[in-house]
């Protein structure tokens, strides 16, 4: 078996093992946040941070949810890291944003964070603050979900089918799940550009034959100018 086939087979196995009820519950949670006028803050690091940025676009544009990612502001992120340390970058950003009970934290992470192992402590501190202000917590996580899974209202765990490809599949399926969510009837408000284009009735583009103008000159009058008729 080629590696490509193995990797795709793993992806199929993960798809079959995903907890559909958790995904549906996540869609319901996000619908409540939108209906109550809340905001969704996407937090993640590394490749997951890039996914957060993409997800913010989709949730704002397609699902009509006010969404943000702290990692999109490179100036503030690096200033806080330099001045205060990496662990507090998210929690301090959320404090300035006045995170509250109507809002939600959406974590994208391969491991979900762990203070014990000093892995993504910035996620853990942000989530502790979210719990303190009664914000909702959800996310798409790899492995066992880490600290995030222990405090989330609901979260989607990407099953581990091969320990050697945990990161690759966890980050790939973050995209699968968030695209599912913004496409979900409970959340979707706007169609994508290509979906809109496909739904537009086709117009007849057959070139029409141009009308031929009669350029034959009219016969000149033989009557003398000014003659009586």
Ranges of each domain in the chain: 21-190
Answer yes or no: are the C-beta atoms of 104 and 136 closer than 8 Å.
Answer: yes
> Which pLDDT score, from 0 to 100, does residue 210 have?
52
Q: List per-residue pLDDT tens for the chain, 229 residues long.
A: 999 999 999 999 999 999 999 999 999 999 999 999 999 999 999 999 999 999 999 999 999 999 999 999 999 999 999 999 999 999 999 999 999 999 999 999 999 999 889 899 999 999 999 999 999 999 999 999 999 999 999 999 999 999 999 999 999 999 999 999 999 999 999 888 888 888 755 555 555 555 555 544 444 444 444 444 4
pTM of the predicted protein model: 0.85
CA nearest to 171, candidates 47, 5, 28, 3: 47
> Which pLDDT score, from 0 to 100, does residue 227 have?
43
> Which pLDDT score, from 0 to 100, does residue 198 have?
81
> Which pLDDT score, from 0 to 100, does residue 199 have?
74
The three-state secondary structure class of 136 is: strand
CA nearest to 53, candidates 100, 103, 94, 108: 108
> In the structure encoding, which two tokens stand for residue 143, read together?
């492995």
Angstrom distance (rounded) from CA 56 to CA 110: 19
Angstrom distance (rounded) from CA 145 to CA 202: 47
> Which pLDDT score, from 0 to 100, does residue 229 have?
42
Answer yes or no: are the C-beta atoms of 43 and 53 closer than 8 Å.
Answer: no
Architecture of domain 21-190: 3-Layer(aba) Sandwich (3.40)
Beta bridge partner(s), residue 157? 141
> Which pLDDT score, from 0 to 100, does residue 93 have?
97
> Which pLDDT score, from 0 to 100, does residue 40 have?
98
């Amino acid at each position: 078996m080629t590696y490509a086939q193995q990797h795709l087979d793993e992806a199929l196995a993960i798809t079959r093992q995903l907890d559909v009820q958790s995904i549906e519950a996540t869609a319901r949670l996000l619908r409540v946040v939108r209906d109550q006028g809340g905001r969704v803050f996407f937090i993640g690091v590394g490749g997951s941070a890039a996914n957060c940025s993409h997800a913010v676009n989709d949730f704002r544009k397609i699902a009509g949810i006010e969404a943000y990612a702290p990692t999109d502001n490179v100036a503030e992120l690096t200033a806080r890291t330099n001045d205060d340390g990496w662990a507090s970058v998210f929690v301090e950003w959320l404090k300035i944003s006045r995170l509250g009970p109507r809002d939600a934290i959406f974590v994208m992470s391969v491991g979900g964070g762990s203070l014990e192992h000093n892995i993504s402590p910035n996620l853990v501190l942000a989530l502790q603050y979210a719990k303190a202000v009664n914000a909702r917590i959800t996310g798409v996580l790899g492995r066992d979900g880490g600290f995030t899974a222990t405090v989330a209202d609901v979260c989607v765990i990407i099953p581990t089918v091969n320990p050697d490809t945990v990161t690759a599949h966890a980050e790939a399926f973050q995209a699968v799940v968030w695209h599912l969510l913004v496409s979900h009837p409970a959340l979707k408000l706007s169609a994508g550009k290509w979906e809109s284009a496909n739904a537009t009735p086709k117009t007849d583009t057959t070139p029409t034959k141009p009308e031929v103008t009669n350029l034959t000159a009219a016969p000149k009058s033989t009557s003398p100018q000014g003659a009586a008729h």
